[in-house]
Amino acid sequence: MFQLLLAVIYLAFISLGLPDSLLGAAWPTMYPEFDVPVSYAGIISMIIALGTIVSSLQSDRLTKKLGAGKVTALSVAMTAFALFGFSISHSFFVMIFWAIPYGLGAGSVDAALNNYVALHFESRHMSWLHCMWGVGASVGPYIMGYALNGGHGWNSGYRYIAILQIILTLILCLSLPLWKDRSKNEESVSSEKTLSLKEVLAIPGAKQIMLMFFCYCALEQTTGLWASSYLVLHKGVSAERAANFASMFFIGITIGRAISGFITMKLNDTQMIRLGSGIIIVGIAVLLLPFGETLSFAGLILIGLGCAPIYPCVIHSTPTHFGAKRSQAIIGVQMASAYVGTCLMPPIFGLIANYITVALLPLYLLLFILLMCIMHERLNRIARDFDSNLFL
């Protein structure tokens, strides 16, 4: 039964990634049909992000009331409903309406699933599960491309993904008996008082881990959005080659997480986060070197490889730092902090690139990784100083 549930969760993580890259893949076809500027994709993206922030902050309350299995099933059902709504939309404002349930569903399932895996599975599974998210995010554009190349339109691409999400919802509903708590100590977790945001922030170490997540996601999303522009405008790489080079960043994350799963058998979460941070710093340094395309290519791969273990290992370490009773509340706030970083920091660099220079990208990334490292070490110091007694 345990292995069957693990297989369902792996499938859920693949499915979580499937819709995440659809908007970017379909938007060049969508915005002329809607008769809106190309920049309006950011409006839909922002609404989705705001929805995920709201639902992440409510994940502790929902999970304690319904349980991780039911929250996951309901959230995926809401996402499927929203994706089907996208598939029947022919107006930008209708898309905005459907973006609301999409964001609300995505945030709840992300926080609930991550906490459940952190509590019940070893660190290697967290890395491999997030690798599966990367697989889903990579497959999504191919499904959209199949719909577009077949002359079926972007609506059909969303409809295909919606159907897959509906199938997953049925599987999750059938698997609900498998989602029972696996330790006697956790029977009391659901009866614990739901923590408010103010109470979560008062927990020693909470602010540090929130800033860690904010910085990591700001770095990851800024790199993904602006790497191609940096290569073209500063390094003189052709647009076609720059697009291929930038994709190496995401491939580095996906492959890196597959490899990280094996490394976690030897290193703990703290060591993995330090290792990943060190590799990112090396990658940024390589990107700063005034040499040719090959080193820029290597720098992006290194940044991707360095990013690979950080997200899953920060999540997996949360119950260790804060205890099982508080982990869902902490992870919910972490996810909200991550979405704020994702939402705000890439556009801010866009202003820097526009009004100053895109050449500042490596220094912008360096700022986030250094701040993340400082917060990580402070979190570890707090855990040592209190000998974990406050977190249990």
For the stretch 42-82, pLDDT in tens is: 788 788 888 888 888 887 788 878 888 888 889 889 999 99
Indicate the number of domains in the chain.
Answer: 2
The contacts of residue 287 (CB under 8 Å, 6+ apart) are 295, 296, 299, 300, 303, 361, 362
Residues 215 and 164 occupy one common structural domain: no
Decide if 192 is inside a domain.
no
Is residue 350 domain-resident?
A: yes
CA atoms within 13 A on the CB side of 50: 10
More confident residue, 62 or 2: 62
The region of weakest confidence among 81-90, 132-141, 355-364 is 132-141
Q: Which of 145, 177, 209 is the last residue of a domain?
A: 177
Shared-domain flag, residues 141 and 253: no
Query: 1 falls in which pLDDT band (50, 70, 90)?
Result: low
Could you tell me the CA-to-CA distances from 274 to 50, 119, 280, 306 in Å, in that order?
A: 30, 22, 10, 9
- Mean pLDDT over the full length of the chain: 84
Instruction: Pick the last residue of a domain from 117, 148, 177.
Output: 177
**Confidence bin at 185 (pLDDT 50/70/90):** very low
- DSSP string for 80-113: HHHHHHHHT--SHHHHHHHHHHHHHHHHHHHHHH
Residue 277: per-residue pLDDT: 97
Counting residues of the chain whose pLDDT is more than 90, the rounded percentage is 29
- Mean pLDDT lowest among 14-28, 173-187, 199-213, 323-337: 173-187
Most confidently modeled range among 192-196, 360-364, 386-390: 360-364
Global pTM value: 0.78
pLDDT interval class at 83 (50, 70, 90): very high
Question: Is the per-residue pLDDT at 128 higher than 80?
Answer: yes
Higher pLDDT residue, 175 or 328?
Answer: 175
| Strand, coil or helix: 290 | coil
- The residue-averaged pLDDT of 335-363 equals 87
Residue 293, C-beta contacts closer than 8 angstroms, at least 6 positions apart:
231, 235, 237, 241, 245
The pLDDT-based confidence of 364 (bands split at 50, 70, 90) is: very high
Are residues 148 and 54 both part of a single domain? yes
Residues 273 and 350 in one domain: yes
The tokens describing 309, both together, are: 């273990």
Task: Decide which of 144, 177, 210 is a domain's last residue.
Answer: 177
- DSSP secondary structure code for residue 205 in this structure: T
Q: Does residue 191 lie in a domain region? A: no
In degrees, to the nearest 5, what angle opens at C-alpha 202 toward C-alphas 199 and 208?
A: 125
Range of the domain at 345: 197-387
Do residues 141 and 272 both lie within one domain? no
Examine residue 71 and state whether it is found in any structural domain, yes or no. Answer: yes
Q: Could you tell me which of 219, 154, 251, 256 has the C-alpha nearest to residue 362?
A: 219
Residue 188 lies in a domain: no
- Identify whether 325 is part of a domain: yes
- The per-residue pLDDT for range 150-161, each reduced to its tens digit, is 888 889 999 999
Give the Å distances, CA to CA, from 255 to 15, 132, 228. Answer: 18, 10, 20
Residue 186 maps to a domain: no
Q: Is residue 182 part of a domain?
A: no
Q: SS3 helix, strand, coil % of the chain, rounded to 5?
A: 85, 0, 15
pLDDT of residue 275: 97
| 15 and 157 belong to one structural domain | yes
Provide the token pair at 347. Answer: 């556009």
State the pLDDT at residue 303.
93
Model confidence at 320: pLDDT above 80: yes
Both 259 and 207 in one domain: the answer is: yes
Mean predicted confidence (pLDDT) in 344-348: 85
User: Is residue 377 pLDDT above 90, yes or no?
Assistant: yes
Question: Sign of dihedral through CA atoms 349, 351, 354, 356?
Answer: negative
pLDDT at 392: 42
For residues 172 and 223, membership in a common domain is answered with no
What is the structure's pLDDT at 240?
64
Q: Residues 259, 368: one domain?
A: yes
Residue pair 331/114 in contact by the 8 Å Cβ criterion? yes
* Total length of the chain: 392
pLDDT at residue 274, rounded to an integer: 96
CATH (domain of 276): 1.20.1250.20
158 with 233, same domain? Answer: no
Same-domain status, 160 and 253 = no
* Better pLDDT: 379 or 234: 379
- For 237-252, the pLDDT digits (tens) are 876 677 666 667 778 8
Could you tell me the pLDDT band of residue 386, with boundaries at 50, 70 and 90? low
How confident is the model over 171-191, as a mean pLDDT?
66
Q: What is the pLDDT of residue 209?
A: 93
Q: How many CA atoms lie within 13 A of 148 on its CB side?
A: 15
- pLDDT reading at 365 higher than 60: yes
Structure-model confidence comparison of residues 46 and 194, the more confident one: 46
Question: pLDDT confidence of 193, banded at 50, 70, 90?
Answer: low
Is the confidence at residue 190, as pLDDT, over 80? Answer: no
Same-domain pairing of 378 and 242: yes
pLDDT score, position 363: 96
Q: Provide mean pLDDT across the span 343-371.
A: 90
Percentage, residues of the chain above pLDDT 70: 92
